[in-house]
Amino acid sequence: MRNAFIKSLHTIAKKDPNVILLTADNGAIVFDDFRKECPDQFINCGISETTMVSVAAGLASSGKIPFIYTIIPFLVMRTFEFIRNDICMHQLNVKIVGIGGGMRYSTLGPTHHALEDIALMRALPCMTVVCPADPTETGKVTNAIYDHPGPVYLRMGTTKEDAVYEKEYDYRLGRAVVLRDGSDVTLIGAGSVLKEVVAAAEELARQGISARVINMHTVKPLDQESVCRAARETQAVLTVEEHNLDGGLGESVAAALAENHVGTVRFGRCGIRNNFCSGFGSHAHMKAKHGLGVADIVNKAAGLIRGNNR
């Protein structure tokens, strides 16, 4: 995802001198081509993320389109007050690009996990929150948020994410994508965990359960129409997110169902249940350890069909 973002932004920046990329002293080598071809559009703010946010706000106030980029815990949690006051209160056109979504930095421990960021960014007025599923979608998202006025939070993994999309498709901010149709249960996911969600749908099919898969790449604003249609057309809805369940995708979907009076569908959530994730290992290991493996999704979905929503 990181490389897809950089490649897409590089292409945009060569055409638009108002695009400025700011980093916090990370990933220097991967930006070599960008710095070489667009030297006046790259600023390394050093390990001072709060300063980077305020510099971006100043640039946006001057008509520039800044993209600020670094690891999520340092970009979102450390600088939250500055994002709130400097960017969102003034509805500035700043793009906040965080890498390492969920437990992607699985070998660095809970200080580098990003499991509360969607909740924080969702709570901010005027903020759009986007979680692409794979590198292909990341490229599309980068172009879409460049065209979108106002603050945007782009939540990515890092590198070597598996492909979810195998063919071309139409991408629009705020419009969910149905990856797989189904009539028994709807699985709604966001971000790179979609790979596990699709695999779970395939396993459910082998068990005789037809699962619809929705990629809710834009968490805010949520595509309520797709959510409600799925709830009316299938028996159950299960959200899957590599994030704390408090304040995440599942809560947003549940609110949409309640506010639109879709009250008969069985509903469940897969995610991190109000804790910090201990342990170290591969990304796949950490997801499986904390209830986000394919088997976990399958069991939860099958349980909903059977009437067990715990």
Of 1.20.1260.60, 3.40.50.620, 3.40.50.970, 3.40.190.10, the CATH number of 2-155 is 3.40.50.970
- How far is it, in rounded angstroms, from Cα 132 to Cα 120? 18
What was the pLDDT predicted at 42? Answer: 96
Q: Domain boundaries in the chain?
A: 2-155, 177-305
The structure tokens listed for 281 are: 């290992």
Q: Yes or no: say if 146 and 95 are a contact pair by the CB < 8 Å rule.
A: yes
Instruction: Please tell me what DSSP assigns to residue 111.
Output: G
What was the pLDDT predicted at 9? Answer: 97
Instruction: Please tell me what DSSP assigns to residue 293.
Output: S
Spell out the per-residue pLDDT of the chain, length 310, in tens.
Answer: 999 999 999 999 999 999 999 999 876 688 999 999 999 999 999 999 999 999 999 999 999 999 999 999 999 999 999 999 999 999 999 999 999 999 888 888 888 989 999 999 999 999 999 999 999 999 999 999 999 999 999 999 987 888 899 888 899 999 999 999 999 999 999 999 999 999 999 999 999 999 999 999 999 999 999 999 999 999 999 999 999 999 999 999 999 999 999 978 999 999 998 888 888 888 888 888 889 999 999 999 999 998 765 5
Q: Exposure pattern of 41-69 as b/e (b: 16+ CB <10 Å)?
A: bbbebeeebbebbbbbbebbeeebbbbbb
> Are 2-155 and 177-305 the same fold in CATH?
yes
Q: Yes or no: say if 34 and 6 are a contact pair by the CB < 8 Å rule.
A: yes
Rounded to two decimals, the pTM is 0.95
Question: Is-catalytic flag, 241?
Answer: no
What was the pLDDT predicted at 264? Answer: 85
What was the pLDDT predicted at 308? Answer: 60
What was the pLDDT predicted at 278? Answer: 82
Instruction: Give the CA distances from residue 186 to residues 105, 107, 238, in Å, rounded to whole numbers and listed in that order.
Output: 29, 32, 6
Pairing of strands 95-99, 65-71: parallel
270 phi, psi to nearest 5 deg: -115, 125
Which is the catalytic residue, given 49, 137, 241, 242? 49
Q: Does domain 177-305 have CATH number 3.40.950.10?
A: no
